[in-house]
Amino acid sequence: LLSLLTKALSDQYGPLLLFMDDIQWADPSSIELICSLMENSLCNESIEETPAAMNHGSNILFVGCYRSYAVAESNPLTAFIRQIKDCDTITLDEINLDGLSKDVINAFISDSLFYPKRLTRSLATLVHQKSAGNPLFAKEFLNSLATENLLTYSLSKHKWQYDEDIIKMKTVSTGVADLLTKRLERVQKNVLDAVRVISCFGSAVSLEILRSVNGVYGNSDIIASLNSAVDELLIKKFKESYSFVHDAIQYAVYQGMEPEERVGMLKELADTLIARTSEGRTNAILFIIVDLINKVGPSINLDADDRKRYAELNLAAGEKAIHTPDFSSANSYIESGIKFLGDNSWDTEYDLSLALYKNSAAVKLPLGKTVLMEERLNEVFDNARVFEDKLDSMSVLIQFLTTCGKADKALEHSVSVLQYLGEPLSLSDSFDLKRELLESCNFAQQLSSMSFEMMPKMKDPMKIKAMVSLSSLACLLLLCFVCQVLLFFFFFTITVPPF
């Protein structure tokens, strides 16, 4: 849908710019989405294949911003950039932004202190050496000097005072996070706890969520504590949300917690949201809960009730993502749900296991993960208690066989499914098949559109599944017919010489 939207917004006379910031934090699903958008932008069939159109290329410019020092070799962004460089149809231009120059840092300090540039030059040199020109680093370093009284204003002398030798001896931090951590150590405990809570949700969180988790982790009034964090310039307040001033602050707060403490907070937040939003839970809150759950992960000691509840929520989120459709996210949720299942889940939680595994197979087909799809299908076929529980997975298998060119096997499975559903169909008896088709066509032609709307809806689940199978079979037979026609004309062209 997003690909269709970008194509609709861009044409030969209206180029489109897509800017994506901080893509070093992008997960594999987001990287796949960006890659898909790029590939689809090169497949615009509306442009005529004229020389001018060929030179025109795509009308979409993708601009991505990321921090190179935060991208390791294992980061999915690294493989994505390498893939773009190897692609002949995509032009990649890289712009490396260096740190600010000494003169720019001097202008920044001069504006901040309301002091002439000629008097701040020596201080700017020191700040530039310590920060390597990083704007956020320079700002934090200057703030730390003022906080530690290494940079003071003399009212009697009417000038800023600092000791260059002491500043030179000041320990150089290994990154912005170190400076931020030091600033966090100076805030009150209730403020720090509130900031830790919102760091679990990411870079921003809505007031609705904050009200739902008020009281968690000893925060009796989380809103008041966050307002104090706003005064400390750690977060920003908007009309309906709070967000971190910079994602480096969120990262420093989140990673600054001990692993056990972080997991405990994530679980408490998730369980609180589950309990307080049980009625009228929106999709947005569901996805937030599931993200918290999956950060906790199945590796910690969870009781059977927690594992079941977390698996069910992942299943619900996966089914919502399928209907969006967002198969990549759906696959992630459903696989997380499977990980929460116990070793004997087919015996203890049969219905839940069946739903997770059959949905897992279904989402892997459009993602092209056929090997894993076959593994999930085999799980269903081996553990399903009745044939009815195999029907959805049989449909996935039939679609897979059709796409692989194994139409005969797909037809065989389709007929066996219809046989079980009480709709026997013999493809060998072409006379009866044609007669039934003609009778159905004649009956449909006698009905008006109003008559169709007034007919009662089908309620028998077996008959509904039969109609779905028949619809798939009709598409399959049409495909076989088209292939036969094409083969006939192909061989006819070869065997019949031109006049």
Distance, in Å, from the CA atom of 360 to the CA atom of 197, rounded to the nearest integer, reads 32
pTM: 0.68
More confident residue, 289 or 239: 289
Q: What average pLDDT does the segment 399-428 reach?
A: 73
pLDDT band at 473 (very low <50, low <70, confident <90, very high): low
Question: What's the pLDDT at 2?
Answer: 67
| Distances in whole angstroms, Cα of residue 376 to Cα of each of 203, 335, 357, 396 | 36, 11, 6, 11
pLDDT tens, residue by residue, 225-234: 999 888 877 8
Question: What's the pLDDT at 432?
Answer: 65
Question: What's the pLDDT at 336?
Answer: 94
- Least reliable range by pLDDT among 29-43, 200-214, 480-494: 480-494
| Distances in whole angstroms, Cα of residue 71 to Cα of each of 23, 175, 424 | 10, 15, 58
pLDDT band at 415 (very low <50, low <70, confident <90, very high): confident
Q: What average pLDDT does the segment 129-138 reach?
A: 81
Cβ-contact 228, 191 below 8 angstroms = yes
Closest CA to 271 of 255, 287, 290: 290
Q: What average pLDDT does the segment 359-386 reach?
A: 91
Question: What's the pLDDT at 55?
Answer: 47
Cβ-contact 240, 207 below 8 angstroms = yes
Question: What's the pLDDT at 175?
Answer: 57
β-sheet bridge partners, residue 14: 11
Closest CA to 107 of 99, 95, 116, 98: 116
Task: Kindly report whether the peptide bond that precedes residue 135 is cis, defined as omega within 30 degrees of 0.
Answer: no
Question: What's the pLDDT at 53?
Answer: 43
- Residues belonging to the chain: 499
More confident residue, 162 or 486: 162
Question: What's the pLDDT at 477?
Answer: 56
Q: Which two tokens stand for residue 253?
A: 């707060």
pLDDT tens, residue by residue, 42-58: 655 443 444 444 444 56
More confident residue, 491 or 449: 449
pLDDT tens, residue by residue, 316-335: 999 999 998 888 899 999 99
Listed in order, strand segments (DSSP E) in 31-156 are 60-64, 151-154
pLDDT band at 12 (very low <50, low <70, confident <90, very high): low
- Least reliable range by pLDDT among 5-19, 46-60, 290-304, 332-346: 46-60
Work out the percent of the chain whose per-residue pLDDT is above 90.
Answer: 26
Distance, in Å, from the CA atom of 396 to the CA atom of 368, rounded to the nearest integer, reads 13
| pLDDT(65) > 60 | yes
Question: What's the pLDDT at 499?
Answer: 46
pLDDT band at 178 (very low <50, low <70, confident <90, very high): low
Average pLDDT of the chain is 81
Mind giving me the DSSP string for 168-204? Answer: HHSPPPSSHHHHHHHHHTTS-HHHHHHHHHHHTT-SE
- Least reliable range by pLDDT among 150-164, 169-183, 299-313, 470-484: 470-484
| pLDDT(274) > 60 | yes
More confident residue, 444 or 155: 155
Cβ-contact 353, 331 below 8 angstroms = no
